[in-house]
Amino acid sequence: DEQTSEKLVELAKRRGYFFQSSGAYGGVGGFYTFGPQGASLKGNVEDAWRDRFAVAEGNMEIDAPTIMPEPVFEASGHLETFDDMLVECPECGESHRADHVVEDNTEYEDAESLPIPEVEEVIAEYELVCPSCGTGLAGQAVETFNLMFATNIGPGDSDPGYLRPETAQGIFVEFPRLKEYARNQLPFGVTQIGRAYRNEISPRRSIIRTREFTQAELEYFVDPEEDEPDLESVEDVEVTLYPASEQHSEGGDELETTIGEAVEDGIVGDEWVAYFLGIAKPWYESIGVDMDRFRFRQHLSGERSHYAADCWDAESEIDGNWIELAGFANRTDYDLSKHDEYSDDRFTIFKQYDEPKTVERATVDPDMSYLGPEFGGAAQDVVDALETLAERDRSAFESDVVEIELEGEGGGENEAETHEIPVEKAGFSVDEETIAGEHITPHVIEPSFGVDRVIYTVLHHAYREDEVDGEERTYLALEPEVAPTFVGVFPLQSDDDLESVADEIVSDLRKLGLSATYDDSGNIGRRYRRQDEVGTPFCVTVDYETIENEETTVTVRERDTTDQKRLPVEDLAETLAEIRDG
Ligand code: ATP
């Protein structure tokens, strides 16, 4: 039903879930404010994520700045490659994502991976038009557009910085310290929940594609040769998978399987990725994502990020479209190697062998005094070149002279020059050495969740319309665990006695950590409708029976069924707390 999103966005604004920011100044695309209900729902979803992916897994949580200096993004590759394709309308001047224009209007499903000239050709061939004004886009240049927001750190422009486009880099950059907290033992995981910023060319579909959003990311560092996930704990988890092979083949379909079988059949090739899919699926279910509208889709080869070896997305269905909720990627040693190369810090871990190993090591004499200027180049260059050669090719030292190549000194030309070094001068020897371990660069598996998109999905999948007592009703069937308000408490009528009992009930509920709201305005039916629309699972009404009978009881109404029951006030708070905690 194409309408649900429209109705939801309207409800979200009216009831304080979310709305476009800075409305007083006309609003600006891609920025949303979570209102009182939305902020509370978001907090609950983040807590649920933290419980599952940080606490229950024994991972560490950190909280890094959102602005980072330029060298971080030089190393990470974002400065160079974090681009989308942009096409500008010659008539109205609006910019659009060229790949979206192509995907929305042709049979191409993965236009992001096409080279720019090909995208331009497709635009011309299909006579694609500007989505805003309908003017033809054929012949318009498609350009790359870097999505990072740039800023300056301090006065002047000598220290450029960027608002982070993903929370992940804040974890990678601190790896040299984080590994100490993990006592230099792999595997270990670090999580972060925080804001990320992308200057999206065309923000759209309310909070699904914004320019400032919240991510919940886990970076799980492993020794690729030794560490294995606990697949047994997730092998029976049932999943709907949409592998790349099925997407490629005509009439290809989703597969219903289990994590265990998917690994056995080689459908999910990476066991670590499979493990995290296995814990993500029940988590999404627990917070209220409809499992009939949820799947994991494998990235097509051209779609993968610059670092990822295998990647799957969690997707939910919204009004007939699949949207990406989270990405699960094996980023291998890409990020840590890059930071190791670009920074002065060390992004490796010392891996101790079970028993010390004896190895042969070929060396040359590091004392440069043997080598006079007649051998050319700086003496250190010569020693370095000899060392490298000794490691790679011992046979080079079997004759009387060894040849090395050094970069020439000839100014800009830099042509390699060959030098002949008498072997006796190189001081070549092969020694045995006992070593306790080696430095390795961990691989990292990344489950990367978008918080805003899961909130949108949870609301959309909870949206219901029915009829109660001959009247149309709209309600949100939110899971009690995440519902922003857990219980509404109403005095039946304006009456001091009823109000004071209701007040007392509210404070008892709050003492147990239940979010309770007091409402005495309007007739009781309207108060129920209000809580239904917000998604409050229970309403408690204090009526005359409550104060007149010997045993004090109240009515408790359940949101979805609208069934009412009388419960003793004594037990009320505890009973509701038990329901909330499952
Ligand atoms: P897309 O292809 O939709 O632009 P992506 O593949 O670039 O997303 P990732 O880099 O994998 O996204 O980011 C991880 C998660 O962050 C996504 O699964 C999504 O939930 C969330 N996310 C990414 N971009 C946005 C955005 N502009 N607005 C809201 N959430 C986003």
Interatomic CA distance for residues 178 and 349, integer angstroms: 11
Final residue of a structural domain among 379, 409, 440? 440
Mean pLDDT across the chain: 92
User: Coil, helix or strand for 210?
Assistant: coil
CA angle 551, 578, 476 (to 5 degrees): 100
**One-letter amino acid of 24:** A
| pLDDT at site 300 | 84
Residue 299 Cβ < 6 Å to ligand 1? no
209 CB less than 6 Å from ligand 1?
Answer: yes
Q: Whose C-alpha lies nearest to ligand 1, atom 25?
A: 209
Ligand 1 centre to CA of 448 (Å) is 9
Q: What are phi and psi of 60, to 5 degrees?
A: -95, 140
On whether both 324 and 388 belong to a single domain, the answer is no
Whole-number pLDDT of residue 399? 87
Domain assignment present for residue 343? The answer is no
Ligand 1 near 114 CB (within 6 A):
no
214 CB near ligand 1 (under 6 Å) = no
Give pLDDT, residue 403: 86
Residues in the chain: 582
Domain boundary among 428, 451, 474: 451
Residues 506 and 554: beta-carbon distance below 8 Å: no
Same domain, 431 and 522: no
pLDDT digits (tens, 9 = 90+) for 317-334: 999 999 999 999 999 999
CATH number at residue 301: 3.30.930.10
Is there an atom of ligand 1 within 6 Å of 103 CB? Answer: no
Give the residue, out of 299, 321, 335, 453, with the most ligand 1 atoms within 8 A of its beta carbon, to mutate for a pocket test.
Answer: 453
- Tell whether 497 is covered by a domain: yes
**Is residue 557 very low, low, confident or very high in pLDDT (cuts 50, 70, 90)?**
very high
In 205-270, the DSSP E strands lie at 212-222, 238-242, 255-258
| Cα(547)–Cα(286) distance, integer angstroms | 38
Is the Cβ atom of 457 under 6 angstroms away from ligand 1? no
Q: Is residue 546 predicted with pLDDT exceeding 60?
A: yes
- The answer to which of 204-218, 247-261, 336-350, 354-368 has the lowest mean pLDDT is 354-368
Place of tokens 């609301």: 459
| Sign of CA pseudo-dihedral 206, 209, 212, 213 | positive
Q: Using 50, 70 and 90 to split pLDDT, how confident is the model at 375?
A: low
Q: Is residue 226 part of a domain?
A: yes
For residue 562, is it within any domain? yes
Question: Does the pLDDT value for residue 221 go beyond 60?
Answer: yes
Pocket test for ligand 1, best of 213, 277, 284, 296 (most atoms within 8 A of CB): 213
pLDDT at residue 376, as a whole number: 59
Inter-residue contact 120 to 86 (CB < 8 Å): no
Distance, CA 196 to ligand 1 centroid (Å)? Answer: 10
The answer, yes or no, to whether residue 392 has pLDDT greater than 60, is yes
- Is the same domain home to 329 and 377? no
Q: Are residues 284 and 318 in the same domain?
A: yes
Give the end-to-end CA distance of the chain in Å, rounded to a whole number: 32
Q: What is the mean pLDDT of residues 404-411?
A: 67
218 lines ligand 1 (CB under 6 A): no
Higher-confidence position of 365 and 296: 296
Q: Which DSSP helix (H) or strand (E) runs through 259?
A: helix 259-264
Cα radius of gyration (the chain): 31
pLDDT at 305: 64
Q: How far is the CA of 416 from the centre of ligand 1 (A)?
A: 47
Asked whether residue 140 is domain-assigned, the answer is no
- Mark whether 175 and 320 lie in a shared domain: yes
Pick left, alpha or beta for residue 376 (phi over 0 → left; psi -120 to 50 → alpha; otherwise beta): left
Question: Could you say which DSSP state residue 140 is in?
Answer: P
Q: Measuring from atom 11 of ligand 1, which residue has the nearest CA? A: 327
Residues 281 and 172 in one domain: yes
pLDDT in the model for residue 15: 96
**Ligand 1 mean position, distance from CA 453 (Å):** 9
Q: Which residues sit opposite 160 in a β-bridge?
A: 152
Q: Whose CA is nearest to atom 4 of ligand 1?
A: 209
pLDDT of residue 25: 96
218 C-alpha to center of ligand 1: Å? 15
313 and 396 fall within a common domain: no
Tens-place pLDDT, residues 252-275: 899 999 999 999 999 999 999 999
Question: 169: Cβ below 6 Å to ligand 1?
Answer: no
pLDDT of 412 strictly over 60 = no
Q: pLDDT (tens digit, 9 = 90+) per residue, 426-482?
A: 888 888 989 999 999 999 999 999 999 999 999 999 999 999 989 999 999 999 999
* 306 and 77 Cβ atoms separated by less than 8 Å: yes
Ligand 1 centroid from CA 450, angstroms = 6
32-34 and 18-20 beta bridge pairing: antiparallel
Please report the pLDDT score of residue 304 as a whole number: 62
CA of 36 to the centre of ligand 1 (A): 25
Q: Is the CB of 193 under 6 A from ligand 1?
A: no
Pure H helices in 50-128: 70-76, 78-81, 98-105, 116-125
Residue 535: CATH number of its domain: 3.40.50.800
**Predicted pLDDT at 548:** 86
Q: What is the domain range of residue 493?
A: 485-580
pLDDT of residue 113: 86
Sorting pLDDT into bands at 50, 70 and 90, what band is 534?
very high
Residue 90 maps to a domain = no
Q: Cα(213) to centroid of ligand 1, in Å? A: 9
Q: 278 and 362 share a domain? A: no
Number of domain units in the chain: 3
DSSP classification of residue 53: I
Check if 83 has its Cβ closer than 6 Å to any atom of ligand 1: no
Residue carrying structure tokens 């790949």: 99
497 and 381 both lie in a single domain: no
Say if residue 430 is in the same domain as residue 492. Answer: no
Q: At residue 369, does pLDDT exceed 80?
A: no
When pLDDT is averaged across residues 534-555 and rounded to a whole number, the result is: 91
Under the phi-then-psi rule, with left for phi > 0, alpha for psi from -120 to 50, and beta for the rest, what region is 559?
alpha
- The answer on 70 and 173 residing in a single domain is yes
pLDDT above 70: percentage of residues in the chain: 95
Q: Which atom of ligand 1 is closest in space to residue 450's alpha carbon?
A: 20
pLDDT of residue 410: 53
Residue 297 shares a structural domain with residue 226: yes
Angle between helices 569-580 and 496-511 (to 10 degrees): 40
Q: Is 390 in the pocket of ligand 1 (CB under 6 A)?
A: no
219 C-alpha to center of ligand 1: Å?
16
Per-residue confidence band for 509, with pLDDT thresholds at 50, 70 and 90:
very high
Residue 329 CB–ligand 1 contact under 6 Å: no
**491 found inside a domain:** yes
For position 228, what pLDDT does the model report? 96
CB count within 10 Å of CB 47 equals 14
pLDDT of amino acid 423: 85
| d(CA 57, ligand 1 centre) in Å | 24
Report, in this order, helix, strand and coil percent for the chain, each rounded to 5: 35, 30, 35
366 preceded by a cis bond (ω within 30 of 0): no
Q: Where are the beta strands (DSSP E) in 441-491?
A: 443-450, 463-468, 471-476, 487-491
Is residue 294 lining ligand 1, measured as CB closer than 6 Å?
A: no
Least confident of 375-384, 385-394, 451-460: 375-384
Per-residue pLDDT averaged across 112-133, rounded? 94
Q: Which of 393, 426, 451 is the last residue of a domain?
A: 451
Is residue 77 within 8 A of residue 185, CB to CB? The reply is no
Mean pLDDT of all residues in 191-205 = 94
Rounded mean pLDDT of 300-329? 86
Q: Which atom of ligand 1 is nearest to the CA of 84?
A: 4
- 104 domain residue, yes or no: no
Do 572 and 540 form a contact (C-beta atoms < 8 A)?
A: yes
Residue 200 Cβ inside 6 Å of ligand 1? The answer reads: yes
pLDDT: is 362 or 231 the higher one?
231
Contacts (Cβ under 8 Å, ≥6 apart) of 153:
67, 69, 159, 160, 161
Q: Whose CA is nearest to atom 24 of ligand 1?
A: 209
